[in-house]
Chain A
């Protein structure tokens, strides 16, 4: 599996200074303190938590829970691949709470309108339709899609991170993509969505 240079993780070179962790960096680099590693990783964790949740507030809650959990369990970190470990914690926390709320996807229209941060000249309507469609995905499939597409992980890396077979990674990815496409097509022509 060779990496495409356009793939997000490699293409995002300009904002890469946060990526120096013992697990990722060359051997012999100076180890950071545990807190400093988390601090450096916060922006990426924030992006991941935002991509899993419905609102910025929910995303910050998940981020805080994740940091807390990582600090409490610091003794359990095996000294390599800190980033994957933190992502795994966040994924588990998120799936645990989503299971508790009964796996029902809820679309909050107001949230869908103001959630995405627009960084390109993309059509804002398409953008909000896409993030709205995300809310209909099962949480586990959504997490895999985000890890692959937004966070740039390879399939095997996701399998290792979440301790699931690679076949499960592929089936969740497939489920997410088909469902998203279905949703986008069925809503291809939409009337005014805002009652205001």
Chain B
């Protein structure tokens, strides 16, 4: 018996979920026998599991109209035009949103007082604004972007003009499983910025932000993380870039590297 050997919390979960072998189960049980508080917690977890399984078991039922549910969607999907019409109202709403973001950006204050810290500020603002843009737009179901992928050439020229970047390129991330949804114009630190949105086959979205940088300098890749939303960002000359998503850091890094390769320096 080695009940004194510490048992990790991960092992307690695996015990509750039935993922431990006999030997490990016995060791956990001995540990629980010696620690009534832990035993109480594990018993509560087991009761949760039993309760949840019982609560939702009945939901796994076929329904009469299941076939219609699928055939209706198939019919609807085949009728829908390639691009969805954008309504005037939605445009107005997004204009208000963008305007709101501009106001929010204003609270960073008059630049004149921050001049000595401008280097720090630029690298702080970029990931924060990238994260905000992701939070606001990636969850948008109908109007995630202003210009959809079917007008990719127009998207590139339009945003290129706004950012004063000749030949702005929209990165192609197909090899990584992400297709372009589209893009939009948005303010980053009070200046026009471009956001491109991509989506994989499961609906997982990521955004790529391109913004004007105050001064000409270059940084290496940097990384910011908050609430499981990850951002890779870098500054290349007078442009700043940020790639944001709620996906693994490895995948996001691949995407960032791919964008870096494709954006002309």
Contact = CB atoms under 8 A, between A and B. Distances in A.
Contacts of B248: 163-165
Contacts, number: 165
A49 to B, nearest CB: 8
A149 B73 contact: no
Main secondary structure of the interface of A (DSSP, over half): helix
Interface string B58-89: 11111100110111011011000000000000
Interface string B77-105: 10000000000000000000000000000
Interface in A150-174: 150, 154-155, 163-165, 168, 170, 173-174
A92 B206 CA distance: 12
Contact of B49 (A92, A122, A149, A185): A149
A95 B134 CA distance: 13
Interface in B138-154: 138-141
Q: Which 4 A-B pairs have the closest CB atoms?
A: A76-B201, A4-B18, A117-B58, A100-B139
Interface of B: 9-10, 13-14, 17-21, 41, 44-45, 48-49, 51-63, 66-67, 69-71, 73-74, 76-77, 135, 138-141, 177, 200-205, 228, 246-249, 251
Interface of A: 1-4, 6-8, 12, 15, 35, 38-39, 42-44, 46-47, 50-51, 59, 63-64, 67-69, 71-73, 75-77, 85, 88-89, 92-93, 95-97, 99-100, 116-120, 122, 126-127, 130-131, 134, 140, 145-146, 148-150, 154-155, 163-165, 168, 170, 173-174, 177, 180-181, 184-185
